[in-house]
């Protein structure tokens, strides 16, 4: 029997414009709302990420983060 889909948690989240545009595009392509798309991505995080690429991208993002905040 499938789990019932309930959005039980809400949290304030800040996103870059690029990140939000990509989330909206993914949600639209998948026929989901932004909240449903985020739930899908985090529930299936290990399946939708490539560990080596994730580590590299995270390193690059962190190295550019301070400059992007200005």
Q: What is the spatial distance between Cα 67 and Cα 69, in angstroms, rounded to a whole number?
A: 5
Question: Is 33 part of any domain?
Answer: yes
pLDDT at 55: 92
Backbone phi and psi for residue 59, each to the nearest 5 degrees, phi listed first:
-60, -45
Mean pLDDT confidence for 33-54: 92
Phi/psi-derived region of residue 21, left when phi > 0, alpha when psi is between -120 and 50, beta in every other case: alpha
Residue 67 CA to residue 70 CA, distance in Å, equals 6
List, for residues 37-46, the tens digit of each pLDDT value.
999 999 999 9
Q: pTM of the full predicted structure? A: 0.76
Residue 35: give the domain boundaries: 17-69
Tokens 């590299």 correspond to what residue? Answer: 56
Q: Domains in the chain: how many in total? A: 1
Assigned domain for 47 exists: yes
* Percentage of the chain lying above the pLDDT 90 cut: 64
| Cα separation of the two ends of the chain | 49
Which of the pair, 70 or 42, is modelled with greater confidence? 42
């Amino acid at each position: 029997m499938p789990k019932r889909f309930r959005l039980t948690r809400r949290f304030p989240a800040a996103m870059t414009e690029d990140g939000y545009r990509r989330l909206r595009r993914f949600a639209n392509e998948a026929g989901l709302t932004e909240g449903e798309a985020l739930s899908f991505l985090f529930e299936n995080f290990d399946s939708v990420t490539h560990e080596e690429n994730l580590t590299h991208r995270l390193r690059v993002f962190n190295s550019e983060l301070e400059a992007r905040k200005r």
